[in-house]
Amino acid sequence: MSHFHPDPATFLEELVKIPSVSGSEGAAAAWLVSRMSDLRYDEAFVDGAGSPTGILGQGEKTLILLGHIDTVPGDVPVRRTPGRLYGRGTVDAKGPLAAFTLAAAAVGPREGWRIVVVGAVEEESATARGARAAAELYRPEACIIGEPSSWQKLCVGYKGRLLVDCRLTRPLTHTAGRERGGCEDIVDFWNRISQLATSLNTGATRIFEQLSPSLRSMRSQNDGLLETVEARIGLRLPPGLKVAEVESSLGKLASLTRKGQGRSDATIDESGEIELSFSGREEAFRAGKSNPLVRAFLQAIRDEDGTPGFVVKTGTSDMNLVGPAWGCPILAYGPGDSSLDHTPDEHIEIAELESSIGVLGRAIRQLTSSPS
């Protein structure tokens, strides 16, 4: 359908060379829209949220390939070695997005279908601006999320997430006195969260089934009169544990901490309270395995001489947001080793990129030719 047949590694390399940290995706989005036009997409544009979008066909049924074009910060020099491409985003997740773009173009318009490729913005931030806009714009029959799963695996679930910002302001105390400082109170709060996780995780053998807290940052300062301590805590939530439940539990733990309950030191100044603010709320999501989308991918991987399998992830993705909103068959797929996400060594195997494009093409053709 097109006279433009880019080499996949070169296509991805050019995209990766354009920085697109969350909130600054404009240049990369414009480049991808231009390439979509070269690939003869019926429509290619930047949507209202800033996400590059390409559409093939005008059918009543919609298949969405929802990748993301933003990256985390960090300069990973773009370079090639035999069989590999290095650079920020090669795995997470410009690699999957490039595979989406090229595979859909190779398939072309399909009768009765509209194939939509979206490079969502701000996936790596708590705002998820691109996915939230897409959730309102479309009502697809099926969705593929662009995340690294390896070319032979399908990701069908992600843990939930909750970010907690803690702030404690209290009168400054002498370090030689009996009274505890604000840092110790925040550490006490953190320890209570760790104890809660240990209790809730009893009997859960897989990380995917566990509540996983992490202390992201902590800092303190004082003006000679008041001490202020701030900390950020991240929690990864397993299926079945709701965000609202965790928020309620953390509120109770903060109250216990400031009242000094369960501690030998009861001299804490109760005028200081741990204030909590929550963000990044994402419920855990697990997709079904028995549907035409999954069957199409399983067959496509076998046809590419792969051995298909399923994985679940301990992080989050746009699946957490659009999965419940759309209620359609959904999975995450893309080339790359997810253990390299956000690392200084981020790179992709070029052969895997090429294999994933083959799998995607076969799966799209199978799905869009099915009467169901």
Q: Which residues are catalytic?
A: 70, 123
Q: Which helix (H) or strand (E) holds 368?
A: helix 350-369
Q: Which residues pair with 43 in a beta bridge?
A: 55
The residue assigned the tokens 């309950």 is 261
Q: What is the rounded CA–CA span in Å between residue 326 and residue 13?
A: 33
Amino acid at residue number 256: L
Q: Which residues contact 5 (CB under 8 A, 6 or more apart)?
A: none
CB 342 within 8 A of CB 72: yes
Q: In Å, how far from its chain's centre is CA 28?
A: 19
Q: How many CB atoms lie within 10 A of CB 221?
A: 10
Structure tokens at 75: 């300069």
Q: How far apart are CA 273 and CA 192, in angstroms?
A: 16
Side chain identity, residue 215: L
Any idea of the CA torsion for 69, 72, 73, 75, to the nearest 10 degrees? -70
What would the two tokens of residue 261 be? 């309950």
- Tokens 């005008």 identify what position? 58
Helix (H, G, I), strand (E, B) or coil at 145: strand
CA dihedral 125, 130, 135, 141 (to 10 degrees): -110
Residue (of 250, 78, 232) closest to 165 by Cα position = 232
Helix (H) or strand (E) holding 167: strand 160-171
What CA–CA distance (Å, rounded) separates 298 from 292? 10
